[in-house]
Amino acid sequence: MRFLPDWLIYALAIGAIAFTLFSINPRADVPGLDAAEEAGQLLLPPPSMFDPEVLVDVGPVSSGLGTAFAISRDGWWLTARHVVDECDRVGIVVGQNMALDVRDVRPAPFADLALLRTERAPAALTLDETENDFRVGQRAYHVGFPQGRTGEASSSLIGRETLIARGRYNLEQPVLAWAETGRTEGLFGSLAGMSGGPALDRGGRVIGVTIAESSRRGRIYTASPASILRWLNVQQLEAFGDPPTRLTDTNYGLRADSLRRALAVALVICVADQGEPRRRR
């Protein structure tokens, strides 16, 4: 087990690192759907060639921060590809001034997803591996480290879109589009740094990986369970998460804090040997 040096962690934490792929501006919270309204929504249709497209630009590799979450206690983690792709070193922060070296980084060629491997993980999240029961309007809770600090956002499902990434790598993938409905107290402005974090349903299961946002439209985009399962199948891996805990609009902040304390959700450091860390958009 190796640890990243203290000076490197300090240097990265000082910078305000932007990992989401869109420009970001502060926005006010908007009212969310209640459980009764969600129950009346239509089932989410399957991906279609007629789904709206969203174009993102993946900039050159640079040092920065993101989010990852464990999917098994034997040391497998999920994050967004653009957070760790082509980094010289990747670390998982496990305490103050302490980070574990990631010994294996596996970016997906068809989605903004990556698998990370450490020696172990103290806790792990449970994946929802099917989209059969997804409904337009259902709730999601996005957990991570926006702006390098702890924070969460809630959202409701709008539908499917096709994300087209161009730049450092090129890909097209079906994604889920969510309308932001609220944030925990004290979180304003950018959600930068939440990329790679889990999107959880009311049952506490992972239903997506946060990969981008559009503050102008009030949208959050996640890689779908189908994409996650596809990458796990390609790598011949299985996820073994801990029993999930139910989330609500009033307790999701406290529940997210518990996941971070348990290190089921952790801060990720990307080190690119290009001098001082710089802002990444």
Least Cα distance to 130 among 250, 225, 11, 269 occurs for 225
State which amino acid sits at residue 199. A
Q: Mean pLDDT lowest for which of 101-115, 175-189, 192-206, 234-248? A: 175-189
To the nearest whole percent, how much of the chain has pLDDT over 70?
Answer: 83
pLDDT at 62: 87
Domains of the chain: 6-271 (2.40.10.120)
Q: How confident is the model at residue 147 (pLDDT cuts 50, 70, 90)?
A: confident
More confident residue, 54 or 190: 54
Which residue blocks in the chain are alpha helix, DSSP H? Answer: 6-14, 35-39, 81-84, 225-234, 252-261
Distances in Å between the Cα of 149 and the Cα atoms of 30, 118, 221, 242 are 22, 23, 20, 25
- Predicted confidence at residue 236, as pLDDT, reads 97
Q: Token pair 């090129």 is at which residue?
A: 170
* β pairing state of 151-167 and 53-58: parallel
**Residue 96 predicted with pLDDT over 90:** no
140 to each of 39, 182, 195, how far by Cα in Å? Answer: 14, 11, 15
Q: Tally Cβ neighbours within 10 Å of residue 20.
A: 27
185-201 pLDDT, tens digit per residue, is 888 878 889 999 999 99
Q: Which residues pair with 199 in a beta bridge?
A: 142, 208
Query: If you average pLDDT over residues 24-47, what whole number do you get?
Result: 55
pTM of the model: 0.84
Residue 277: its pLDDT value, please?
Answer: 43
Tokens for 267, please give them: 């801060």
pLDDT of residue 44: 93
The mean pLDDT of 1-21, rounded to a whole number, is: 43
Q: Which amino acid is at 57?
A: D
Res. 24: pLDDT tops 70: no
Q: Would you state the pLDDT for residue 99?
A: 87
